[in-house]
C-alpha cells in the first residue's frame, strides 16, 4: 500500500539496526522524517520523487521499527551526530558516497548536524520547518513554549515523561498531532494507525525522550561550540516552513533570517500554505519545491 515498488530492508550500522526503503532511479536522495513518525511521513510523494531520483527513506534510530538502542549516560546515543552517523553508513552500504538529503523536524536537525560534520557527502540539503535549536533554546518565548510544550516536557528526567506519555498513548499522539483546526484530517488514516502502533511501544517513547534530552544537552553543547567558533553550515540549503505552524508564527525574526546566522549558502527560503507537517498537509507544494531544488543539483 505504501511505497509501491520500493525495496525494504534492515541495515545494521555501527550503532543501530535501521529500517530502510529504497526505490527509483537517478541521483540518490535520502529522506529523514520527524517526531513521532517514520519513513511513512513521505509516502504521499516519495514514489513521484522516485521517478527522477533514487529515493532512500529510513526510520531514524529509536523511531518506527528501527532499533531502540540504550541512550547512554549523557543520552549521547540519541544525539543528532549519532543519528546522522547511522544515515551516512546506510547510504555508504547502499553504494552512495555523496547524496541529496531532505529532513523534516527531528530529521532536519539530524541533517543539519550531518552537514556540519561531513559536508563533503551532502550535495544539497532541504531543511523543513525548523530553526536551529541553538537559537531556539537561547530565545524562548511564551508563545513558543505554549505551542511547543513537549520540548520541555520530554527532556525531564527518566521516567517521568515516559510514564505519562505511555499511560494513554493513543490519546497523547492524537493530541500532539492535532494542534490546528484541521486536526488529523490531512493525515492518511493508515499512516496514523502505524504511528500509534509505534507509540504504544514503551521503548519507542523512551527513545523519543532520549532524543529530546540529547538535544537539550550534548547537541546544544556542540552547537554552542560551533556558533562561538563561527562555524556555519556551508552546504547548499533549501529552507521550507509552514506559514501557520509554530515555526512560521512564533519565529522572530523570520526563519530565513535566523538561518542566516547558521548557514552560508541558502539557495531558497519559503513559507508554504500549511502548518508544521508539510509533507502531509501540503504534499503538492512540498514535492514541487523539493523536486526543483534537487533537480538543479550536480549529481548524476
Annotated catalytic residues are 105, 276
CA proximity to 286, closest of 45, 53, 105 = 45
C-alpha cell at 201: 511501544
C-alpha cell at 27: 541521483
Question: What distance in Å separates the CA atoms of residue 8 and residue 22, rounded to the nearest whole number?
Answer: 7
Any idea what DSSP says for residue 89?
A: H
Per-residue DSSP letters for 202-228?
A: HHHHHHHHHHHHHIIIIIHHHHHHHHH
CA proximity to 261, closest of 144, 136, 145 = 136
Question: What distance in Å separates the CA atoms of residue 60 and residue 71, rounded to the nearest whole number?
Answer: 14
Strands (E), the chain: 7-12, 17-24, 28-32, 54-58, 99-104, 122-128, 237-242, 266-272
Amino acid at each position: 500500500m505504501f511505497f509501491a515498488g520500493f525495496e525494504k530492508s534492515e541495515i545494521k550500522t555501527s550503532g543501530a539496526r535501521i529500517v530502510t526503503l529504497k526505490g527509483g532511479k537517478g541521483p540518490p536522495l535520502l529522506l529523514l522524517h520527524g517526531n513521532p513518525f517514520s519513513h511513512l511521513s513521505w509516502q504521499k510523494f516519495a514514489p513521484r520523487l522516485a521517478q527522477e531520483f533514487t529515493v532512500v527513506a529510513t526510520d531514524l534510530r529509536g523511531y518506527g521499527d528501527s532499533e531502540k538502542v540504550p541512550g547512554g549516560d549523557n543520552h549521547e546515543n540519541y544525539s543528532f551526530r549519532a543519528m546522522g552517523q547511522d544515515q551516512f553508513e546506510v547510504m555508504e552500504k547502499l553504494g552512495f558516497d555523496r547524496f541529496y538529503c531532505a529532513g523534516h523536524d527531528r530529521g532536519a536537525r539530524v541533517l543539519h548536524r550531518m552537514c556540519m560534520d561531513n559536508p563533503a557527502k551532502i550535495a544539497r540539503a532541504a531543511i523543513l520547518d525548523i530553526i536551529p535549536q541553538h537559537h531556539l533554546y537561547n530565545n524562548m518565548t511564551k508563545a513558543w513554549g505554549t505551542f511547543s510544550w513537549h520540548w520541555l516536557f520530554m527532556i525531564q528526567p527518566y521516567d517521568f515523561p515516559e510514564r505519562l506519555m505511555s499511560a494513554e498513548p493513543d490519546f497523547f499522539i492524537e493530541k500532539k498531532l492535532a494542534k490546528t483546526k484541521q486536526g488529523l484530517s490531512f493525515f492518511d488514516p493508515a499512516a496514523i494507525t502505524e504511528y500509534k502502533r509505534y507509540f504504544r511501544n514503551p521503548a519507542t517513547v523512551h527513545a523519543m525522550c532520549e532524543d529530546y534530552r540529547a538535544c537539550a544537552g550534548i547537541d546544544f553543547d556542540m552547537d554552542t561550540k560551533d556558533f562561538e567558533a563561527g562555524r556555519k553550515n556551508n552546504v547548499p540549503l533549501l529552507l521550507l516552513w509552514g506559514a501557520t505552524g509554530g515555526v512560521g508564527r512564533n519565529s522572530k525574526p523570520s526563519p530565513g533570517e535566523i538561518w542566516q546566522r547558521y548557514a552560508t549558502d541558502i539557495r531558497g527560503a519559503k513559507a508554504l500554505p500549511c502548518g508544521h507537517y508539510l509533507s502531509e498537509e501540503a504534499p503538492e507544494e512540498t514535492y514541487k519545491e523539493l523536486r526543483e531544488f534537487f533537480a538543479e543539483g550536480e549529481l548524476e
